[in-house]
Amino acid sequence: MDFRGTLLGGVVHLGAVLMLPRTATQDAYARLEPITKVNGFVALPLPTSDRTILPFMDPAFAVAVCRYDLSAGSIKLTAPVSQAYTSVTFYTRRDVAYYAINDRAAGRRVIELDLMTAEQRGELQEDEEVRPPTG
Amino acid sequence: MPAPTIPASRWKGAATWSWTGITPPARFWTVTLYDPDGRLVPNGIGRHAFTSQELVRRSDGRLEIVVSPRARPGNWLPTGGIERYQLVLRLYDTPVGVATRAGRERPMPAIIRKACP
């Protein structure tokens, strides 16, 4: 019995740990949802000592957020590059960063990216295959 | 959003600390002072951070940032007198990563307690 109790306790604990990020109501997405829009960029206000939308924002950087939704089709992202430093990072709904590129890696004045699901990628015709931008 | 490397240090007390030396290679870096919850700390001069472009370097090329509640000459990061705070160093576009192990590849600045206020 003792062993079973321990095992169940372990499972409950693991379940609770795994569930935490999904049940936390004030994660980054929840905080950004009221002030950002879907498939369009919105600039976030710079952090001040009075107010910060997200903790640990870097006050040296301007941040813009786009909540993307691929259910109606793929999206094309175009971001102008500033003189100092520019980067674009993609996050999942659960705050996992899965892709990032900066201006120097992009090597151009504009960062251009196509974002689509694996299914949408599969539906692309051979001749309209996504190629890395040239120029 | 950038994906920087963030070594964080947590210090306690209203003492004066000095951050000196060289930093790991990076195209751009920032050092920012936060309270334990990640908010910027209120202070009289509205200074919460330094960027690698605005720091005043010493004549020998090294740099010093003084973290203290009272005004200091040079690069002064005011703590606003709070008891606990965090300094976050962010390296943008750097070869340093989680897989970098050798100390000489990531020379971190030294942090020295200078004096009580």
B51 touches chain A (CB under 8 A): yes
ipTM of model: 0.80
- pLDDT above 50 for B97: yes
What confidence tier does B102 reach under pLDDT thresholds 50, 70, 90?
Answer: low
pTM: 0.76
Query: Taking 60 as the threshold, does the pLDDT of residue A134 lie above it?
Result: no
CB contacts, 8 Å: A96 with chain B: none
The pLDDT of residue B117: 46
| Residues of chain A contacting B95 with CB distance shorter than 8 Å | none
Cβ separation of A100 and B32 shorter than 8 Å?
no
Query: How far, in Å, CA of A80 to CA of A58, rounded?
Result: 20
The region of weakest confidence among A32-41, B58-67, B97-106 is B97-106
| pLDDT tier, B26 (very low <50, low <70, confident <90, very high otherwise) | confident
Which distant-in-sequence residues (6+ apart) come within 8 Å of A34 by Cβ?
A: none
Q: Which chain B residues are within 8 Å of A60, Cβ to Cβ?
A: 30, 32, 49, 51
pLDDT tens by residue, A11-29: 555 555 555 555 566 888 9
Least Cα separation, residue B42 to chain A (angstroms):
5
B76/B103 Cα distance (integer angstroms)? 27
Q: Do B32 and A48 lie within an 8 Å CB cutoff?
A: no
pLDDT score for A130: 58
Mean residue pLDDT of chain B comes to 79
Q: Check CB contact under 8 Å for B38 and A63.
A: no
Please give the Cα distance from B70 to A62 (Å, whole number).
Answer: 29
Element (H, E) at A42: strand A42-43
Q: Specify burial of residue B5 (Cβ count, 10 A radius: 0-12, 13-18, 19+).
A: middle
Domain coordinates of chain A in residue numbers? 25-123
